[in-house]
Amino acid sequence: MHSRRAVLTTAAAAAAACAAGTVPAAAASPVAARPTAAARDRMRRLIARMTPEEKAGQLFVMRVYGHSATDPDPADVDANRKEIGVANAAELIAKYHVGGVIYFSWAHNTRDPHQIAELSNGIQRAGAAQRLPVPPLISTDQEHGIVARIGAPATLLPGAMALGAGGSRADATTAARISGAELYAMGIRQDFAPDADVNVNPANPIIGVRSFGSDPQAVARMVTAQVRGYQGAGVAACAKHFPGHGDTDVDSHVGLPTIHHTAEEWERLDEPPFRAAVAAGIDVIMSAHIVVPAFDPSGDPATLSHPILTGLLRERLGYDGVVITDSLGMQGVREKYGDERVPVLALKAGVDQLLNPPDLAVAHAAVVRALKDGELPEADIDAKLLRILLLKERRGLFADPYTSRAEVDRVVGVRRHLETADALADRTTTLLRNTGGVLPLSRRREHRLLVAGADAAAPSGTGGPPTGVLARELTGLGFAATALSTGMTPDRAMIDEVVASLGEHDAAVVATYDVTPGSAQRALVEALLATGKPVVQLAVRNPYDIAQLDGVRAGLASYGWTDVEVRAAARVIAGRRSPRGRLPVPVMRVDAPDEELYPVGHGLTY
């Protein structure tokens, strides 16, 4: 295993600056000015008219199944009734007065851009039909890279670590502005991006390439750039996961991680990106379900910690925007207290929005009860509601929450956005090793290519599998490429099949995904190397795989397996583009985990 402490203490090198991309004209959406005193007065009057049930509802951001607000598929109706007690999104808003709705591909909310826009309009019509019309704030997780809820034909862009490898703040802004413009056109005014975590632990199972890198100052610069991009396009950005999820080896979806940083380490490693986000005027910050004993020895996760959310975030960083929880359905926040207490404790800690509780009826009733009996002082709840409503005002929802098919057609997945996405990706692929000049491959020497290896499950609609994408792109670039997927754990029969197939080809390109010392992927690569034919290795997730593969003479990192990142890697392999990415994290030696094999800033070119 790589050494966490070695990564913590490594000297961070500045990533090379890349040519700045230009923001397409269609990528800019209108941005409302900060609310005036008159707007604040209007929102206060609206809050004063709310019942306890309506006030509680406005604090929740909830999932709902279906492609339509009123007429989802029968299976989605059944899922809604089972999990939420309603049939559709319109009933969800009417019954619980929820202040926001979050879209997921697995909830069948994101079939295509026109459907998404109509779903958004239907949700807004439901909001307008309430006794007190309040527009819902519609959100999603469109980080790009390995976390993307909306796929093609919307534009898919390089993920955070890929942009970190590119090192260009202008590119980070461009990517966020394009993404924000397309989300805005589909009626989505809140995106849970960018990730502000500093990934200092190579074994991190939940962040990894979702982070811009391991250098806190570099991450801070990229976070600032993306905040400006998203919010410049009219969409609320959200920095996550406060106070910093970058140094954990436990996934908070299934357990409760502990961050062992001292206060001094936190100030040096974790604080800078969040402080930068606050300085940039970030609309929303998301809490993490992590324990940080240096600031709260109680064992409570940060989501439920007053010392962390109020003491650190509100008081130390001076943040007065909206605070939202990470999903309340994650195990990390459910371990210590029951689902009935968690939302109340989160609000008491300093949270404003409660994201996706597992049982909305239980959570909503608990908040109403705590509001009525005074455990949650009404003045405190009103202050939270004011933040939320002013965010909606700032993002233009009270003026005009609707979108149209024409707006979707004008903005989403247009050619200039797709071309810009490819140009951004061309500045991210990192060449880590090229002993003997194996790369670029030559159509004269290595015309017939076998593309094999791990095929990660791409986010819905984002393309893939990587071997297929690589083979298609390389074929389009003049090679005769054949794809042979082995999965993550090829058995001996599969490895033998790949080796036999290589006999009919001139060279192999093998995709790897988080190689470990005893993994079958390592055995596959070693078997291919033993043939003596050229082998090119491409890490399609974390860039650390090369440390496990001593015999590889040519190794690259794409930092993701979505089409835009993989196509860019293919162009580098074929010599159509020079590799320009630089490592935003160090790769440590396997035999000496405190020593760097490749430092931050490493990257070859040709």
Mean pLDDT by 10 residues, the chain (606 residues): 44 30 37 74 97 98 98 97 97 98 97 98 97 97 94 96 97 98 98 96 85 97 98 97 83 76 94 97 95 93 96 96 93 83 96 96 97 97 98 96 97 98 98 96 93 74 80 96 92 95 95 92 96 97 95 96 95 97 96 93 97
Is residue 132 in a domain? no
Mapped to the 3 state alphabet, what secondary structure does 140-170 carry?
A: ECEEECCEECCCCCCCCCCCHHHHHHHCCHH
343: its two tokens: 């939302």
Residues 287 and 379 in one domain: yes
Q: What is the C-alpha to C-alpha distance for residues 20 and 144, in angstroms, rounded to an integer?
A: 19
Residues 395 and 438 in one domain: no
Parallel, antiparallel or unpaired: strands 535-539 and 448-453:
unpaired
Residues 314 and 364 in one domain: yes
Is residue 100 in a domain? no
Q: Is the dihedral of CA 471, 472, 476, 480 positive or negative?
A: positive
Is residue 594 in a domain? yes
Give me the amino acid identity at 149.
R
Q: Which residues contact 166 (CB under 8 A, 6 or more apart)?
A: 15, 18, 158, 172, 424, 427, 428, 580, 581
Number of domains in the chain: 2
Q: What is the C-alpha to C-alpha distance for residues 199 and 542, in angstroms, rounded to an integer?
A: 11
Residues 456 and 355 in one domain: no
Q: Which of 583, 598, 585, 541 is nearest to 565 (CA)?
A: 541
Domain end position, chosen among 359, 374, 403: 403
Q: What is the C-alpha to C-alpha distance for residues 209 and 215, in angstroms, rounded to an integer?
A: 13
Give me the amino acid identity at 453.
G
Q: 6 with 588: CB under 8 angstroms?
A: yes
Is residue 239 in a domain? yes
**Residue 244 maps to which CATH number?**
3.20.20.300
Is residue 192 in a domain? yes
Res 1: pLDDT: 36
Residues 500 and 375 in one domain: no
Long-range CB contacts (within 8 A, 24+) of 307-314: 308/242, 308/243, 308/349, 309/242, 309/349, 309/350, 309/351, 310/349, 310/350, 312/242, 312/243, 313/242, 313/243, 313/274, 313/285, 313/350, 314/350
Phi and psi for 220 in degrees, rounded to 5?
A: -60, -40
Residues 395 and 429 in one domain: no
Bridge-partner residues for 537, per DSSP? Answer: 510, 555
Res 53: pLDDT: 98
Bridge-partner residues for 433, per DSSP? Answer: 555
380: its two tokens: 């405190």
**Residue 442 maps to which CATH number?**
3.40.50.1700
Res 458: pLDDT: 54
Residues 379 and 447 in one domain: no
Res 20: pLDDT: 33
Active site residues: 253, 326
Res 488: pLDDT: 87
498: its two tokens: 């790949």
Res 446: pLDDT: 87
Domain end position, chosen among 352, 369, 403: 403
286: its two tokens: 């998301």
Is residue 269 in a domain? yes
Domain end position, chosen among 374, 403, 432: 403
Res 5: pLDDT: 46
Q: Which residues contact 444 (CB under 8 A, 6 or more apart)?
A: none
Residues 394 and 477 in one domain: no
Residues 391 and 430 in one domain: no
Q: 483 with 451: CB under 8 angstroms?
A: yes
Q: Is the dihedral of CA 505, 509, 513, 519 positive or negative?
A: positive
70: its two tokens: 């009123």
Res 33: pLDDT: 57
Residues 219 and 364 in one domain: yes
Residues 336 and 459 in one domain: no
Is residue 440 in a domain? yes
Q: What is the C-alpha to C-alpha distance for residues 401 and 214, in angstroms, rounded to an integer?
A: 38
Kind and range of the H or E run holding 39: helix 37-48
Q: What is the C-alpha to C-alpha distance for residues 478 and 574, in angstroms, rounded to an integer?
A: 9
Res 521: pLDDT: 95
Residues 380 and 436 in one domain: no
Res 16: pLDDT: 30
Is residue 83 in a domain? no
Could you tell me the residue range of the domain that residue 590 belongs to? 422-598
